[in-house]
Amino acid sequence: MKINIPWHQYAIIVHLTEKMQEKRQRFGKTALQKLVYLLQTVFKVPVGYQYSLYIHGPFCSELMDDLDYVSYIGGVSVTIDPGYNGYIISPSNKAALIKEKANDFLSTYQPQIENLLSEFGSMRVRDLELRSTIIFVDRDIVNSNRAMSRNDFIQEIKSIKPHFSYEEIEEAMEELESRGYIERR
C-alpha cells in the first residue's frame, strides 16, 4: 500500500519561505497565497492547488491547511506580526527534510521558481494582490470564452478591487501584458 503524501506541496511552502528569507522579504500568508497562485498559473508549475477569488484575490483553503500542517511538522514557523497586523512565515528545524522529500520536483521546476521570485518576490503584498487578481480574472475570461474590451476589463477589476485606482490597475495591466502574462485578447 502506498500513501499519497503531497510532499511537493509541502516543499513549495518551505522552499518559498526560505527564498523569501534569503531576499530579506517579509513573508506572510497572503504573500504565500499569491506567489503559489502565480507559480501555478503564470509559470505553469503543477503544484495542484485550486483557487477561487476571495477578499485579497486568489485564495486556496487547502494551501492554508497545508501551511498549518507544515508548521506542525516543523518545516516552517508561523508567528503573528503585530506591526503589520498579519503573520510571518519563516523556515524551521525540519525545512531541509521536507524539501528532500520533493527534491526531484523542486529541481525540475527550479527555473520557474527563480523566475517567479525574480519578477514577483520583491513586491509588496498589495501589489501581489492586484496582479494575481488581474491574472485570475484574465484566466476566467479566457476559460469562459467571453469577449471584453480592455476598458471593460479594467472596470471589472476596479469593481472587484475598489481600493485600487483606475491608474494603478492600468499600470499593473501594462506590466503584466508586457511580460506576456495576460492571455485575453
Each residue's pLDDT tens digit, 24-45: 888 999 999 999 999 999 999 9
Pinpoint the alpha helices (H) of the chain.
7-22, 29-41, 61-72, 95-101, 103-108, 110-120, 125-143, 150-160, 166-178
Cell numbers 485600487 correspond to 164
Rounded CA-CA distance 89/57 in Å is 19
Rounded CA-CA distance 161/169 in Å is 9
Element (H, E) at 44: none
CATH code of the domain made up of 1-122: 1.10.10
Rounded CA-CA distance 95/74 in Å is 7
Confidence (pLDDT) at 1: 62
Residue 185 has pLDDT above 80, yes or no: no
Rounded CA-CA distance 85/20 in Å is 19
Kindly report, residue by residue over 70-111, the tens digit of the pLDDT.
Answer: 999 999 999 998 877 889 999 999 999 999 999 999 999 999
| Sign (positive or negative) of CA dihedral 171, 112, 12, 61 | positive
CB atoms within 10 A of CB 99: 21
Confidence (pLDDT) at 4: 84
Specify the pairing of strand 76-81 against strand 86-91.
Answer: antiparallel
